Structure 1
């Protein structure tokens, strides 16, 4: 039987708060591209958090392509990535790293339709999904991903299970105005799950995906441990409508040992 951790919707994860603070400091130029961040000891003292909490926040910044590590030296702010299409811009903004660490493209399945990355890329047969959600004001990083203002976001966690064990995790953000426009019934977790698992792909025009190596899967999943290892493939995904507006922004974590990506060329 899996052990579940605290699932309070009101408890703000400390490392996410620190991530948001550092994100804003990078975006407003306090830490300029190419500059070195203060040492972990200095940052943790300045931000009044433990080294472990700080390192989780730094892991997310690295996962999102905002910083890089130079072994034995420290953490450096990355130069902004240039991008071609709008879809690629969003994928890069939210989850790119060096070429050897990630792959990014605008995606359709082999039969021409979009499908859920966890179902596409996980080798294990998934037999159940647990869902939880909350509504919060958007952080700057979320607004930057949407590329437009929204008053609030629906933040949805999903844990994917195989024979009672959680082996994959998805975190999704939906603009609140989209919930009203598409009449997504938030009183029904089944309706919300149906939208995220199927409807958004059926109604979406296209999506962008960036697959990146990550060590954040276990602590990002919060309620359950996904793997005994800390090696994950994280798929950053944006689903767009025909007007190039984002329907959903998601991160999908799959342990490296059960991840499989197939190409049809």
Structure 2
């Protein structure tokens, strides 16, 4: 008769504690030192269990920050990026309630070759909007970077001096006028320390680039959603097609 490996026992115990809400969704697990003492196991055994929990989507690990409990499958049942809406809200491993602060700001920029080509205009200035998502420990975990023309700002009667309006616009309002979008997901080559605000040290960034199209076929905006890798998880329901 074989005994269950210790790392499996630790895995099952942590999973049970999460299911019993001893570790709430979005909360940080105790330190590895405390967990090794609590379970009376080696650091290697604990890390094996934690790596399996991470592999199964139960927790996320952030370099230099620790391990965080993800949403359960039941809690994530409504998540996914199939429907038109702000994908950042459907791609975080923590409940939106765990986001302690959202901040927003904007810049007005002179015309550029890139934006003229993107919006099919000539020598037109453009706006860039930013929204940052921060957790309780002042850790920035996500950012929205939006590019749009002045006419779109005017169309939505958007007051760019009002931070809450910017957040409401990028999370919800703009999608009321979107007929369809093209969303591309990749790993960003941009370094986290190149942003105006810092992400977790050592974290890679998942980048979702979305072109939002209005009913007339023109691009309303191009949004880039940056999410720290340890806090990204999303889903997409797929169906068989007839060939």
TM, length-normalised to structure 2 = 0.58
The structure-2 alpha-carbon separation of the partners of 1:214 and 1:113, relative to structure 1 and needing over 3 Å to count, comes to closer
The structure-2 alpha-carbon separation of the partners of 1:220 and 1:138, relative to structure 1 and needing over 3 Å to count, comes to farther
Cα shift at 1:111: 9.3
Unaligned runs of 5+ residues in structure 1 are: 1-108
Aligned-partner SS, 1:132: strand
Counterpart of 2:228?
A: 255
Counterpart of 2:193?
A: 219
- Report which of the two structures shows the higher radius of gyration computed on alpha carbons: 2
Counterpart of 2:219?
A: 246
Residues of 1 paired with 2:221 and 2:174: CA distance?
8
**Higher deviation after alignment, 214-223 or 175-184:** 214-223
Q: Does 1:181 align with 2:155?
A: yes
Contact 2:116 2:122 in 1 (8 A): yes
Residues of 1 paired with 2:187 and 2:193: CA distance?
15
Residues of 2 paired with 1:145 and 1:219: CA distance?
27
Counterpart of 1:231?
A: 204
Contact 1:169 1:252 in 2 (8 A): yes
Superposed, which structure 2 residues align to 1:22-171 within 5 Å? Answer: 113-126=83-96, 127=99, 128-149=101-122, 151-163=124-136, 164-171=138-145
Counterpart of 2:164?
A: 190
Cα shift at 1:213: 1.1
Aligned-partner SS, 1:170: strand
Residues of 2 paired with 1:254 and 1:193: CA distance?
16
Contact 2:203 2:230 in 1 (8 A): no
> How many positions carry a matched residue from both structures?
156
Residues of 1 paired with 2:187 and 2:173: CA distance?
28
Residues of 2 paired with 1:255 and 1:191: CA distance?
25
Cα shift at 1:138: 2.6
Cα shift at 1:230: 4.2
The structure-2 alpha-carbon separation of the partners of 1:173 and 1:203, relative to structure 1 and needing over 3 Å to count, comes to same
**Alpha-carbon RMSD:** 2.1
Residues of 2 paired with 1:196 and 1:146: CA distance?
18
The structure-2 alpha-carbon separation of the partners of 1:110 and 1:250, relative to structure 1 and needing over 3 Å to count, comes to closer
